[in-house]
Amino acid sequence: MPESGIELATDRALSNPYWNPRPLERGALMDLIARAYAGERPRS
């Protein structure tokens, strides 16, 4: 996926939500995907 796909991946994840104990927030989800793209560990 190109870096430009981070926003599209975020949109797709938000359009097809799954059960999560924490509500999905666009900014947090986009940060998670961007960190994964960069090869960084998720924040806890």
Residue 40 identity: E
Domain that holds residue 18: 5-37
**Total count of domains within the chain:** 1
Q: Is residue 28 part of a domain?
A: yes
How do residues 12-34 score in pLDDT, each as one tens digit?
A: 999 988 888 888 999 999 999 99
**pTM for this model (two decimals):** 0.81
Please give the structure tokens belonging to residue 11. 């949109």
Q: Is residue 43 part of a domain?
A: no
pLDDT band at 4 (very low <50, low <70, confident <90, very high): very high
pLDDT score at 25:
94
Please give the structure tokens belonging to residue 31. 């940060």
Q: Is residue 42 part of a domain?
A: no
Q: Is residue 18 part of a domain?
A: yes
Asked whether 1 and 9 are in contact (CB, 8 A), the reply is yes
pLDDT band at 2 (very low <50, low <70, confident <90, very high): very high
pLDDT score at 44:
73
Kindly report the three-state secondary structure assignment for every residue of the chain.
CCCCHHHHHHHHHHHCCCCCCCCCCHHHHHHHHHHHHCCCCCCC
